[in-house]
């Protein structure tokens, strides 16, 4: 991956962005596999899909990482909340709905 300042044309820039997008999707697919494993492990530990304190911890971690990298933390929070809600719904399909803690 090259630095943006090294890129001299829009075609090159778009190719770099497309490559990044593929990497992001691959990482999200990896994350989904871990969510699936969480749904397998949680019943043995008596855990519901939604654990409110964990949701906030994950979102705060993402916000802090965004701030440290000069990204808009509100944008990252919104994206992470959407991803976390999707993940919880995915777990609930396996676990059944719970009250959350």
What would the pLDDT profile of 4-45 be if each residue is shown by its tens digit?
Answer: 999 999 999 999 999 999 999 999 999 999 999 999 999 999
Which residues contribute to the annotated binding site for substrate?
A: 14, 31, 42, 91
Return the pLDDT at 95. 84
Interhelix angle for 52-68 vs 73-95, to 10°? 150
Which residues contribute to the annotated binding site?
A: 14, 31, 42, 91
CATH of region 7-96: 1.20.59.10
Nearest Cα neighbor of 49 from 91, 101, 99, 93 is 91
| Residue-averaged pLDDT of the chain | 94
Residue 98 has pLDDT above 60, yes or no: no
State pTM to two decimals.
0.86
CA-to-CA dists, residue 72 to 42, 66, 83, 99, 101, angstroms: 33, 6, 17, 32, 29
């Amino acid at each position: 991956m090259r630095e943006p300042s090294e890129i001299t044309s829009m075609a090159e820039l778009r190719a770099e962005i497309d490559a990044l997008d593929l990497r992001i999707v691959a990482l999200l697919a990896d994350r989904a596999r871990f969510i699936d494993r969480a749904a397998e492990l949680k019943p043995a530990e008596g855990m519901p899909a939604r654990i409110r304190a964990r949701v906030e911890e994950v979102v705060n971690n993402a916000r802090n990482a965004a701030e440290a990298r000069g990204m808009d933390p509100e944008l990252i929070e919104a994206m992470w909340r959407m991803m976390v809600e999707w993940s919880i719904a995915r777990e609930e399909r396996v676990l059944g709905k719970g009250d959350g803690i």
